Amino acid sequence: MSFLAEAQLNINHFIRVGRTRISIGNYTGAIEYFNIVIEFKPYLAEAYLYRGMAKHSLEDYRGAIADYDKAIEIKPYYPRAYNNRGMAYHNLRLYSRAIEDYDRALEFDPSDESIYNNRGIAKLALKNLEGAIEDYDKALEVNPKSTHALMNRSNAKIVSGDIKGAISDLNQVIIIRPHYAAAYLNRGLARFELEDYASALRDYDQSIRFDATNALAFNNRGIVKHKLEDYESAIMDYDMAIQLNPEMASAYFNRAMAREILNRLGYEQDYQIAARLNPQFDLSQRRIDAEQLAQQQQQQQKQQQNSSSQQNNNQQNSQANQQALAQNNQQQSAQQNKASVADQKSDEQKRKEEMEAERRRRRMRMDLVIEDTRDIPEEVEEVDDGRIQNKNIVIDLQPMFFISAFEKNAVDYERFQYYNVVIDDLNAENNYNPLLSISNKPVTTYQSVFENFILFFNEKIEVQENAHNYLNRGIFYSLTGDYNSAFADLDKAIALDEKISLAYFTRANTRYKLKEQVELLAGMGSTNSLTLNEGTIKDDSNEKPSVVEYQEILDDYAVTLFLDPDFFFGYYNRAFIKLRLGEYRSAVEDLNRAIDLEPEFAEAYFNRGLTKIFLDDIEGGALDLSRAGELGIDGAYNIIKRYCN
C-alpha cells in the first residue's frame, strides 16, 4: 500500500470517528477530529460541514455558520450546507436570512421535505401563516406520512384559528405514530381551545403516559382540572410540573390560584416566585398598569367633554356619570386583579387574559415544534464530553503565561502548550536539562522538582556567573514563590546582559505574582478580574487598580517586546494587565497582535472574546469564543450559549 493511500485511509478514519462522536453527543471530541481532517485536507467540504454540525449542537451558531460558509465556498452546490446554515440563522432569529438559505437549498434539492419544513417554520416566525402552510403542504407532497410536516401544519392552523383543521392533522400524526407524546399534547391544546375539556384531559393523560418527563403536559392537565374545579388534583399536577421544571413560572402562578381558592397556605409565596421568574405574572405590576390605563381613559374622557357641544349638556352629564361609574369599576378591578377571583372581573378583562395565556401557550407550542424538526444530532444523556455548554462553570479570563519546566525524561504533555523559538534556544544552552516550557497551568505539584533545579544552578553559578545561569535560577526561585531571591537573580541577569528579553518577561511575571499574592491575602478576590455575571461582564474588585501600581510590570513587558517583537506571550500577558486596569481597547490591540503571531492561540481568542462582549461587540465576541472552543477551551461554549445567543 502506498503512503498516499494509507494517508487517505487515515483521513477517512478521522471522519468516521468524528461523525460517530456527533451521533453519541460527544461534540467537543468530534471537533478535535475534524480539526485534524481540516489540517490535512483543508479543501474537504464535508469536514467543515460536520464540524459546523458539532458546533451547532453546542449552540455555537456563529461558529457553525462560519464552517457552513467554508463548506459552501468549497462546494457551492451543497444543499445540506445551505439547509444547516439556514437553521443556524433561525436560531439567531435571523429568519429572512434563514429563508434565503432554504430557498438556495431547494434549488439544488427540491425533493427534501426537511427543507420545506424548516422554511415553513421560518415563515411562521415571520407571521407568514399562508406561506408556512404552503411549505408544509409541499413537504407532505414529498412524504405524505411526514409527522414533522403534519405537526408543523397543525401548529400553523392553530395560530391561524383553524382549530378543527389542526385536530385533523394531529389525528393523522397519531395514526402514523400512536405513541407520539407531543401529538397528544398538541391535540390537547387544540381541544382545550374548543373548550372540549374532557377530550383535552384524555389527550394530556396519553401524553404523560408516553412521556412522563414533560412539565408542560402536567401544567396543562392541571389547567384543565382547574377549569373543571378539581383544584386538589390540579395542584398535584402543578407540583409535578414544578418538580420537572423548577423555573416554570406559569406552574407556580397556576398553583397559587388553586391554593388561594382552597384557602391554603403558600399561595402568596407562589405568586412571588412566579413574578420573579416572569414579570408577566407580577400582580403588583398589573395593578399599576390597570391604574395607568384608568388614568389615561379619564384624560381622554375629559378631552371629549371639553370638545363637546354645549347643546348636548344634559347628554354629556349623563355620559360623564356613566364614565365615572366605569372608572370606579376599573379601579376596583385593578385592586382585585388576581386571576383566581374570576367572578370579580369584567368579562372583557377575563377574555383578554385568556387570550394572552393562549398566546403564551401558542408560543410554547411553536418552540416545541421547532426543536422537533431540527436536522441536527440530538442530545444524548450521560455523555461526559457532550453538551458541555450546559455545564455550570466559573467564567474567568484565561490566566497569564509564565516560564515553567519539567525533567528531561518526564512525560507531561498537558503543561507543554506552545512552541517558542526563544524558549527552544534557552533549552539548547541548558543542554536540554532542565526542559523549560511556557504554560499557564498550575505548578504547585512540581515544587520539589523546581527546588532541585535551584540547587543545580547554584552549582553552575559557582562555576560561572553569567546572565544565562542567573536567569534560570531566577525562573525557579519565582516558581517556588521565593520572589525576593528571584528579583535579585533577574536583576543580576539583566545587569550582565541587558538584551536578555526573557529576564524582563520573567521579572514582570514575578512582580505580578507577588502583587496577586498580596491581593489574595488582603481578601480582594480573584485577580482574573473580568468575569461574566447575569448577562454582563463585571469587575470582581471593588476598585480598579491604578496604572502606577502596575507600571513596573508594564515597563518590563514593553522592554521584552522591544527586544523580541515576535514574542506573542508578551502581548498576551500585557493585555491581561491592561484588562485589570480597565484599558479594554488597548488590551484588544495586544491580543490582536498575539493572535497574528500565533493563529492558534486559544487563550488569546478566549480573552479577546470576553473583552469584545464587554465592549458590546457580541458578534465578534461570539466568533472569538467559538474559535477558542474549537482550539480546546470547552468553557467557551457555555459563555456563547448564556451571553451571545
Residue 433 confidence (pLDDT) = 75
Contacts of 147 (CB under 8 A, 6+ apart): 173, 176, 177, 180, 183
**17-21, 275-279, 444-448, 635-639, range with the lowest pLDDT:** 444-448
Q: Is residue 146, in this structure, part of any structural domain at all?
A: no
**Cβ of 205: how many Cβ atoms within 10 Å?**
14
Q: pLDDT value at position 394?
A: 52
Q: Residues near 402 by Cβ (< 8 Å), separated by ≥ 6?
A: 438, 439, 440, 478, 479, 506, 509, 513
Model pLDDT for residues 229-240, shown as the tens digit of each residue: 999 999 999 999
pLDDT tens digits along 289-334: 545 555 565 565 555 555 544 444 444 444 444 444 344 444 444 4
Q: Grid cell 447575569 — which residue?
A: 534
Reply yes or no on whether the pLDDT at 541 is more than 50: no
> What is the rounded CA–CA span in Å between residue 561 and residue 601?
18
- β-sheet bridge partners, residue 438: 403
**What integer pLDDT is reported at residue 523 of this predicted model?**
65
Position 558 in a domain = yes
Give the residue numbers spanning the domain of 543: 402-643
Under the banding of pLDDT at 50, 70 and 90, the label for residue 415 is very low
* Rounded distance between C-alpha atoms, residue 410 and residue 104, angstroms: 55
312 DSSP 8-state letter? G
Say what the pTM is: 0.73
**Contacts of residue 642, Cβ cutoff 8 Å, sequence gap at least 6:** 532, 535
Residue at which a domain ends, from 283, 316, 340: 283
* Domain end position, chosen among 261, 283, 305: 283
Tell me, yes or no, whether 1 lies in a domain: no
**Domain-embedded: residue 631:** yes
> Are 550 and 407 part of one and the same domain?
yes
Is the residue at 21 inside a domain? no
Q: What is the 3-state secondary structure (H, E, C) of 396-428?
A: ECCCCCEEEEECCCCCCCCCCCCCCHHHHHHHH
Domain contains 493: yes
Sequence-distant (≥ 6) Cβ neighbours of residue 88 within 8 angstroms: 52, 56, 61, 62, 64, 65, 68
- How does pLDDT run across 208-225, given as a tens digit for each residue? 999 999 999 999 999 999
Q: What is the DSSP string of 481-550?
A: T-HHHHHHHHHHHHHH-TT-HHHHHHHHHHHHHHHHHHHHHTT---S--EEEETTEEEESSSSPPPHHHH
DSSP assignment of 588-612: HHHHHHHHHH-TT-HHHHHHHHHHH
In a domain, residue 37? The reply is: no
What count of other Cβ atoms lies within 10 Å of the Cβ of residue 294?
18
Please provide the average confidence, as pLDDT, over all residues in the chain. Answer: 82
The SS3 of residue 438 is strand
- What SS3 class is residue 183? helix
The count of structural domains within the chain is 2
Report the length, in residues, of the chain: 645
How far is the C-alpha of 272 from the C-alpha of 633, rounded, in Å? 39
Q: Is the pLDDT of residue 437 over 90?
A: no
C-alpha distances (whole Å) from 17 to each of 81, 493, 573 are 20, 51, 37
Of 287, 296, 279, 292, the closest CA to residue 333 belongs to: 287
Read off the CATH number of the domain in which 446 is found: 1.25.40.10
Q: Enumerate residues 6+ apart whose C-beta is below 8 A from 356.
A: 280
For residue 174, CA distances in Å to 182, 189, 192 come to 10, 15, 18
Condensed to tens digits (0 to 9), the pLDDT of residues 494-531 reads: 999 999 999 999 999 999 999 888 877 766 655 555 54
Helices and strands, counts by H and E, the chain: 30, 4
CA atoms within a 13 Å half-sphere pointing along the CA-CB vector of 385: 16
In this prediction, residues 418-429 reach a mean pLDDT of 84
Q: From residue 47, how far is each of 35, 74, 294 by CA, in Å?
A: 8, 11, 62
pLDDT above 60 (res 338): no
Residues 406 and 265 in one domain: no
In three-state secondary structure terms, 66 is: helix
Type and span of the H or E element at 465: none
Q: Does residue 584 belong to any structural domain of this protein?
A: yes
- Is it true that the peptide bond before 279 is cis, omega within 30 degrees of 0? no
- Of 19 and 448, the one with more pLDDT: 19
Nearest to 395 by CA among 289, 277, 533, 214: 533
Q: Which of 232, 252, 283 is the last residue of a domain?
A: 283
Rounded-to-5 percentages of helix, strand, coil across the chain: 70, 5, 25
